[in-house]
Structure 1
Amino acid sequence: MSTTAISPPPTNWQASVAHAFSRAAPRYDALANAQRHIGETLWATLPDTAGSSLLDMGCGTGYWTQRLAARYPHAHVTGLDIAPGMLAEAQARYGNHIRWQLGNAEALPFAADSFDLAFSNLAIQWCRDTGAVMNELQRVLAPGGQAHLMTLLPGTLAEVAHAWQRPEALLQTPEQNELARAIDQSGLTPIHQQVERRRFHYPDLNAVMASIKGVGAQVSRPHARRLTRRELKAARERFETLREPQGLPVSYLCFTLQLEKPS
């Protein structure tokens, strides 16, 4: 695994996220059905040509990184992730023709003007400082470079929040206006924005929770207590009231962004 700079030590939150995703790495792809489908929407925004240096920010097990390398065979592709376990899985699967870099999107370990295109599917909602992420993208993109991002907005996993009655246990995603403000202050120019609600269905509550926990998308909160059997039974019953013919619904409020660094 290559390194080019030393990132600041991770915060407790970053360390927790890295641990959760590292632990999930071996089974991530088998459970990431929703993430794959959502990512196809982002993939469709990519240009026919993309320059010589590309970044997959929050690359996970390398699924999209490898696809970027195949789509743009003459480009140098870097996959960056905060979770060492994810990068180890990616490197084992796809080898060293892709550069695998440990790092944090809020403090990217790259020089200014390093990339012609940055791609990031469902990663930046895990960052606490959205402004820092946008500033870093603006810094590492070359003039005229683009960032194609997919993130999540509040309202994501609303059915899960209803069932558990514990919204504090779910990831708190930034508001759309907060993201817009961060983009504006960074100097990046929005080219395309789209908000879309995507719904996926699962046979039962166990499958719902596997789809969340199994991809690392649940980080333990300090002093969080375990649910009692009575609370678990009540959660199942509440979720069942939402059942549709296809199964139990789980919604993601998806925000697609295409940004450009002015030339």
Structure 2
Amino acid sequence: MSSAPLPRPAVPPDWPRRVARAFSRAAPDYARLAGAQHTMGMRLWSRLPDRAEDILDLGCGPGHWSARLAERYAPAGRVIGLDLATGMLEVARQDQGAAARVSWLCADAGALPLASASLDLIFSNLAIQWCPDLDAVLAELHRTLRPGGQALINTLAPGTLVEVAHAWARPEAPAALLDFCGRDRHLSATRLAGFRQVTVTASQPRFHYPDLASVMASIKGIGAQTARPGARLTRADLARARQRYEALREPEGLPVTYQLLSLELER
């Protein structure tokens, strides 16, 4: 039996443009609404190596982690904050400024405009799940890392936002997410890319919100939603979704569960 990875389901040809547009629109509110994303990023932060000079923050968003990486590895650290969404980079430049010692770059993770063997560390918190070609992304990470370099990645697996899917329970539900890859698929892609050491850890962080509007704001407000052409929600749709979600309410509020994969890769 062949060990070649199965291809990812087909995605719309304009997917990168839709993702970039959604995250650009969300950029002004991202920092305020990304509490869950920040919490998950802190898990990755605790795994950072002691030393690194040339660093890439892949999918940097408004630049929070880029600035922290520059501070963490000062004075020698040189950080590139890279994102597909120009709106995110505009906010990053405005909020982080030159003092963060970060250069900002708009590019696709599957085709990095960086020299081979030019990086010591790649940090990526909840970005690569939006990339339709996982093999291409991991191949690029391997190519741009120096021997012994590390990539620390948080990404999402199937079952993420299961409560949201249950509440809407219809194909045109507003959380129009790309099909996520599971742990085995990520392991296959890392081996295909040629990484020498690979650790993939799965966890299920859960967050709570007071109502459906807050749940949806936490998704839409960070850009994690792309509009499906022709989708129109009625008041009846909204009332039905609210009722279904309320049936899941816990003492802390309405639950939102992420299936988190944390990858530690060494070239």
- TM-score under structure 1 length normalisation: 0.92
Provide the C-alpha distance between the structure 2 equivalents of 1:167 and 1:181, rounded to a whole number of angstroms. Answer: 29
Q: Identify the residue that residue 182 of structure 2 maps to in structure 1.
A: 175
Q: Which structure 2 residues correspond to residues 155-194 of structure 1 after superposition, within 5 A?
A: 155-166=159-170, 169-194=176-201
How far the C-alpha of 1:170 sits from its partner, in A, is 3.2
Question: Which residue of 96, 103, 121 maps to 1:99?
Answer: 103
Q: Which structure 2 residues correspond to residues 19-98 of structure 1 after superposition, within 5 A?
A: 19-50=21-52, 52-73=53-74, 74-96=76-98, 97-98=101-102
Go from structure 1 to structure 2 and tell me whether the alpha carbon gap of 1:193 and 1:48 turns closer, same or farther (over 3 Å shift).
same
Q: Identify the residue that residue 127 of structure 2 maps to in structure 1.
A: 123
Q: Identify the residue that residue 240 of structure 2 maps to in structure 1.
A: 234
Q: Identify the residue that residue 203 of structure 2 maps to in structure 1.
A: 196
Q: Identify the residue that residue 8 of structure 2 maps to in structure 1.
A: none
How far the C-alpha of 1:189 sits from its partner, in A, is 2.8
How far the C-alpha of 1:192 sits from its partner, in A, is 2.6
Q: Contact 1:24 / 1:214 at 8 angstroms: preserved in 2?
A: yes
Provide the C-alpha distance between the structure 2 equivalents of 1:259 and 1:188, rounded to a whole number of angstroms. Answer: 6
Q: Identify the residue that residue 260 of structure 2 maps to in structure 1.
A: 254
Aligned residues between the structures = 249
Taking only aligned residues, the RMSD between alpha carbons, in angstroms, comes to: 1.1
Q: Contact 2:27 / 2:62 at 8 angstroms: preserved in 1?
A: yes
How far the C-alpha of 1:175 sits from its partner, in A, is 2.0
How far the C-alpha of 1:137 sits from its partner, in A, is 0.3
Provide the C-alpha distance between the structure 2 equivalents of 1:16 and 1:63, rounded to a whole number of angstroms. Answer: 23
Go from structure 1 to structure 2 and tell me whether the alpha carbon gap of 1:142 and 1:78 turns closer, same or farther (over 3 Å shift).
same
Question: Which residue of 152, 156, 175 maps to 1:152?
Answer: 156
How far the C-alpha of 1:167 sits from its partner, in A, is 5.6
> For residues 120-160 of structure 1, what are the alpha-carbon distances to aligned partners after superposition, in whole Å with 9 as ceiling and x for unaligned?
00000000000000000011111111100000000100000
How far the C-alpha of 1:193 sits from its partner, in A, is 2.0
Provide the C-alpha distance between the structure 1 equivalents of 2:198 and 2:14, rounded to a whole number of angstroms. Answer: 35
**Residue identity in the other structure for 1:257:** L
186-195 vs 158-167, which moves further? 186-195
**Residue identity in the other structure for 1:44:** S
SS in 2 for 1:23: helix
How far the C-alpha of 1:166 sits from its partner, in A, is 2.9
**Residue identity in the other structure for 2:238:** L
> For residues 76-111 of structure 1, what are the alpha-carbon distances to aligned partners after superposition, in whole Å with 9 as ceiling and x for unaligned?
110000000100111111123211001010111111
Provide the C-alpha distance between the structure 2 equivalents of 1:170 and 1:70, rounded to a whole number of angstroms. Answer: 33
Provide the C-alpha distance between the structure 2 equivalents of 1:142 and 1:166, rounded to a whole number of angstroms. Answer: 46
Provide the C-alpha distance between the structure 2 equivalents of 1:231 and 1:76, rounded to a whole number of angstroms. Answer: 49
Q: Identify the residue that residue 5 of structure 1 maps to in structure 2.
A: none
Provide the C-alpha distance between the structure 1 equivalents of 2:257 and 2:182, rounded to a whole number of angstroms. Answer: 16
Q: Contact 2:183 / 2:200 at 8 angstroms: preserved in 1?
A: no
SS in 1 for 2:218: helix
